[in-house]
Chains A and B, each alone.
Chain A
Amino acid sequence: MAEEVLAPLAGKVLSVAVAVGAIVEEDDELLVLEAMKMETVVYAPADGTVLAIQAQVGHQVEEDGPLMTID
């Protein structure tokens, strides 16, 4: 079942640690957001494969904005 990874807080996408097709385990580091001049790491909510990455490095995301899809 595909699961959307949502932004836990509004911020700028600093870096993405995985690529489409990557196999991730729960709690693996997926990407880093910057909010209030602080880096915040977003972790995988579940085991699976990265299906799509909506987050773009350097772009601003809203709270609850989609970051990637994991199956």
Chain B
Amino acid sequence: MAFFEQLGILAVTPGMVVMWLIGLTLIYLAVSREYEPLLLLPIGFGVLVANLPLTGLMSPGEGLIWRFYHYGVEWEVIPPLIFLGLGAHTDFGPLLSQPRLIFLGAAAQGGVYLTFFASQAFGFTLQESATIGIIGGADGPTTIFLAAQLAPHLLGACAVAAYSYMALVPIIQPPIMRLLTTEQERKIRMKKARKVTAREKLLFPLAATLVIVLLVPASAPLIAMFMLGNLFRESKVVERLTDTAQNALMNIVTIFLGLTVGATMSADAFLRGDVIFIFVLGLVAFAVSTACGVLLAKLMNLFTSDKINPLVGAAGVSAVPMAARVAHKMGAEADKKNYLLMFAMGPNLSGVIGTVIAAGIFLTMLG
């Protein structure tokens, strides 16, 4: 009889079957549609195996994936390592050549804060609300970092919402951008930015670390690793480390991150009424952030003769570089000789930093 009691198939619950379908859907989206496949594929598989009965994979203290989760995510190791790789990939030149566009990246955090208040109105706790709001920053690792500390039970849902909306940037953003801009504004060609020197790029990670960490110490784990990766890159003397941070290390931690995030989505944690709200509120956060970036660009145009194309404001959400590409494509639709890509990268990069700072502020106030 013991054999039959240990037979997994007899312990399957309907909730598990629903989760299998969700896991398989994520795998399908990753494979067939190539929606963020590097993440959705391991996440989808994580969802699937975590919802097989009697495996103990997520049993605290003993399960294999629980260990990945505990030491990788709960101990805040993996998201900062992802940021190390992102830093090594990032060229801050577009941001440094037009520093005024930094404000657009800051404005696009508007959705984060608005959704924070909206979520409370829907009955979420302060910590849960902050975690849901940060989805509006459209930054996966930051969302996971904050969720692990403030609301671990929402981690899976928030991470999947953040990565899904990042993949859906080209669908979600254009209608909002079109609604808020005129044809004339979309045609604005921006003045050539000044050239940024190698020395400026080298000094930036050092200066940014000092300023941001002194102001918002709780953002240090992400900012410090982000800027270290960037320092590797811009120093040009540690090619090997830059390469490892960009590729090998990034790939390794991506595997663990994806699998564990998926595995946090057990049927009882995920199949609850409020998860629907998380997805809806996350989408609102993202849409409001897009609108805030566009609107601030229009506001800035009232006070300057050197006009900003408001489309680049939408790139202030941090989905790099998808949001910048969307701004570029919409600019080219209005005027095919309008090349906005590099201008949009400025707000895009400052959006990443803005989201990390927002997460740091939430941690300081609520952690």
Interface residues in chain A, defined as those with a beta carbon under 8 Å from any beta carbon in chain B: 8-10, 27, 35-38, 40-41, 43, 63-64
Contact = CB atoms under 8 A, between A and B. Distances in A.
Contacts of A10: 342
B321 A36 contact: yes
B341 A41 contact: no
Contacts of A43: 336-337
Interface string B301-343: 0000000000000000000010011001100100011010110
Nearest to A63: B342
A16 B339 CA distance: 18
B337 A35 contact: no
* Leading 9 A-B pairs by shortest Cβ distance: A8-B339, A36-B321, A38-B325, A9-B342, A9-B339, A9-B341, A43-B337, A35-B341, A36-B341
Given A9-B342, A63-B342, A38 B337 contact: no
24 contacts: A8-B337, A8-B339, A9-B341, A27-B336, A27-B337, A35-B342, A36-B321, A36-B324, A36-B325, A36-B341, A36-B345, A37-B321, A38-B325, A38-B328, A38-B329, A38-B341, A40-B328, A40-B332, A40-B339, A40-B341, A41-B336, A43-B336, A63-B342, A64-B192
Contacts of B321: 36-37
Contact residues of A: prevailing secondary structure: loop
Contact residues of B: prevailing secondary structure: helix
Contacts of A8: 337, 339
Contacts of B325: 36, 38
A53 to B, nearest CB: 19
Interface of B: 192, 321, 324-325, 328-329, 332, 336-337, 339, 341-342, 345
A8 B340 CA distance: 9
Contacts of B329: 38
A64 B339 CA distance: 12
A60 B328 CA distance: 20
A43 B339 CA distance: 11
A34 to B, nearest CB: 11
A19 to B, nearest CB: 22
Given A8-B339, A36-B341, A40-B341, 15 more contacts: A9-B339, A9-B341, A9-B342, A10-B342, A27-B337, A35-B342, A36-B324, A36-B345, A37-B321, A40-B328, A40-B332, A40-B339, A41-B336, A43-B336, A64-B192
A58 to B, nearest CB: 20
Nearest to B337: A43
A36 B94 CA distance: 13
Nearest to B189: A8
Contacts of A27: 336-337
A43 B325 CA distance: 19
Nearest to B91: A10
Contacts of A63: 342
Contacts of A36: 321, 324-325, 341, 345
A27 B328 CA distance: 18
A26 to B, nearest CB: 10
Contacts of A38: 325, 328-329, 341
A11 to B, nearest CB: 9
Contacts of A64: 192
Nearest to A11: B341
Contacts of B332: 40
A8 B332 CA distance: 12
* A9, A10, A27 pick with most chain B CB within 10 angstroms: A9
Contacts of B324: 36
Nearest to B97: A63
A69 B15 CA distance: 66
* B321, B336, B341 pick with most chain A CB within 10 angstroms: B341
A55 to B, nearest CB: 16
A25 B169 CA distance: 35
